[in-house]
Chain A
Amino acid sequence: MAQNTQGVEATKDPKQLRYETASQWQLMWWKFLDHKLAVISTAVVILLLLIAAFAEFVAPQDPYIHRSQFVNAPPQVIRFWDENGFSLRPFVHDYERERDMRTLRTIYTFDTDSRIYLRFFVEGTEYELFSLIPSSVRLFGTESGEPVFLFGADRLGRDLFSRVIYGTRISMTIGFIGVVLSFVLGITIGGLAGYYGGIIDTIVQRIIELLMSIPTIPLWMGLAAAVPRDWSNVQVYFAITIILSLIGWTNLARVVRSQFLSLREEDFVMAAQLMGASKFRVVFLHMLPSFISYVIAAVTLAIPTMILTETALSFLGLGLRPPTISWGVLLQEAQNIRSVALTPWLMIPGLFVVIAVLSLNFVGDGLRDAADPYTQ
């Protein structure tokens, strides 16, 4: 008979067995891999972070260089073929200029007979990677050294592509740094409230409710407007980051608090306390590991909010200020309908905002699903 019971065990397929013996982190990992969009989005986020890290290398031009002959030039499209046939090497068409005598504006058209060939790893202007390693190799450029404008140029003839690449650095880091600060605030305040409960919990709850019940944008705008005008770019950058995290911690604190509250009643926490573990030990060795996955998911979902808010503030001229380059600062150029109608490519930085925020949301969503690997 015992033999028979084993027979039932043996009918389980090996996949099922592997599932039942896997560790929690392994289960989370598998569950995350199930969420295809989240996996793809992770790749996108990593790509954006790489761009942020190697902005000098990726950008074909110095983002601050003005070229009056390219003012408001439209984007050049990378081509492999045109009327003159197919080419294995990518190229762009050169501009042709004409002046509108009424508005005195330059009107650009493309010279379809010209070809400016693109190449990887060309020599460009000098830069210092991470402010340390001097180099002049750029990811791509033209063979002739002629500037190329894949996203067009702005009203000062600066290369929008290079500016977006540099903007990636500021916009992504502000989101990540802001979240780190929020995280510290949220986990401390939420942890205190959840662990001690009682009056501390009530007060924290009320503060969170207060901050969530009032419209945050005016609040943010008010705080951001109070940043002194004469501060340096670095100071403004940190001030804005701190402002973002000052209001952004509430949601994280709520997650941490509710996890603490439910864990406090769990037997293993009680057991640890009864065995004389210190409070510090109980919190950091027993409680934190069991809900850290939820916190990671919440943190990931907080980053896109930070990025969106920074973009909005900078767009309104209340956040980062030129010459700092962020996606929001770049979008400032597209503030009125006249400039948008004339140079619609100025909205391209917005596309990057959408892609970054969308990917981070998907990653966060996948993490949230994976954080609870036992539900099907």
Chain B
Amino acid sequence: MLAYLLRRSVWMLVTIVLVSMLSFILIQLPPGDFLSTYIAQLSASGQQVDAAEVAALEARYGLDRPVYVQYAMWIRGIVTRGDFGQSFQWNRPVSDLIWERVWFTVILSGASFVFSWVVAIPIGIFSAVRKYSVGDYLFTFLGFIGLSTPNFLLALVLMWLLYINFGVSPGGLFSQEYIDAPWSLAKVWDMLQHLIVPVVVIGTAGTAGLIRTLRARLLDELNRPYVTTARAKGLSAWKLLIRYPVRLAILPFISTVGWVLPQLVSGGIIVAIVLNLPTVGPMLHRSLMSQDMYLAGSFILIISVLTVIGTLVSDLLLAWLDPRIRYE
């Protein structure tokens, strides 16, 4: 167990390092560095370019040094000072801009994740137990449609339906009066109401895959000898189902976190842009459109790192639940 934990953690660290390199490559990809863009922008708007400030920034990010030194300095800044670089578009340090949005992104992804599980587990069990029933076919078909609909389109259609039927446009995470209000129970309640549409939209995308996975796993497990053993004990059908095959089918299901979570985060970004949520999505979009690369790269880094951590947590959870791994 300890060895397993250690192995997973080391691999997570390696992944994070590789992801940070990837993010930095993305930052470097557009021609020119952010400083030249910044200077060009300033002079275009007729402002004075302060040579001292330019020199200070250049030294701080090592822009005159080789790329790998720049990478090292970027990472050192993040680790030691929490400094992710400068956003030229906002003319503020990246770290000032991102944390609240990252926080909302975590809430949104987490809620979507819970939603997709809450929907997928009962449906998956139903579909496996009532294999080839009308309900099974219906859910399979709906699942395929869910899988085939880009979730921004689903968001658009939902918004449109809400708009023409109720005259409301469910954008944002808060009602007007709560946007700048301090946190209170009422504000949390308001946020929960606004979360419904995005959570449903983002969650549905992963749900189809989850249902199919659970159904397939459970169908495998239903035919295992231990199910017959348990039935021969005299367990009732329902208890039997939950304690034996479902319990085992859930295990590989937990490992789907590894691919569902990245998918949810990806989907969340686009949906957030359409619904104009105060999460990472819209800001990442804007920063990419204007090639504000330190901001964009930092977002990609943080989102990826959080996803990797989420996956690690699910791995550990799996190990804790499955004695076969625990006692390896």
Contact = CB atoms under 8 A, between A and B. Distances in A.
A and B touch in the complex (CB under 8 A): yes
B103 interface: no
Contact of A217 (B19, B26, B156, B270): B270
A334 B156 contact: yes
Contacts of A213: 15, 258, 262, 307-308, 311
12 contacts: A212-B259, A213-B15, A213-B308, A218-B304, A219-B26, A221-B269, A222-B296, A226-B291, A316-B285, A317-B289, A318-B285, A337-B156
A311 interface: yes
Interface stretch (B76-84, B128-136, B141-149, B234-242): B141-149
A316 B262 contact: no
A226 B29 contact: yes
Contacts of A318: 285, 288-289
B285 A210 contact: no
A17 B187 CA distance: 71
A340 B156 contact: yes
A244 to B, nearest CB: 14
Interface in B157-176: 157, 159-160, 163-164, 169, 171
Nearest to B157: A347
A367 to B, nearest CB: 15
Given A215-B262, A217-B269, A218-B304, A335 B289 contact: no
A350 B259 contact: no
Interface stretch (A67-75, A92-100, A356-364): A356-364
Which size bracket describes the interface of B in this complex? Answer: 35 or more
Contacts of A350: 149-150, 153, 156-157
A224 B15 CA distance: 22
Contacts of B18: 210
Contacts of B308: 213-214
A353 interface: yes
A228 interface: yes
Given A225-B296, A337-B169, A344-B160, A217 B266 contact: yes
A39 to B, nearest CB: 15
Interface in B279-300: 284-285, 288-289, 291, 296-297, 299-300
A131 B11 CA distance: 53
B108 interface: no
Nearest to A304: B148
A223 B156 contact: no
A222 B160 contact: no
Contacts of B157: 347, 350
B144 A312 contact: no
Contact of A218 (B29, B156, B164, B284): B284
B312 to A, nearest CB: 9
Nearest to B280: A218
A308 interface: yes
A354 interface: yes
Interface in B6-32: 11, 14-15, 18-19, 22-23, 26, 29-31
A277 B270 CA distance: 52
A223 B259 contact: no
B163 A358 contact: no
A223 B30 CA distance: 9
A215 B160 contact: no
B291 A225 contact: yes
A225 B152 CA distance: 19
Contacts of B274: 335
Given A217-B270, A221-B285, A358 B150 contact: no
B288 A353 contact: no
Contact of A354 (B22, B148, B291): B148
B15 A354 contact: no
A357 B159 CA distance: 22
Interface in A197-233: 206, 209-210, 212-219, 221-226, 228
A341 interface: yes
Contacts of A221: 269, 284-285, 288
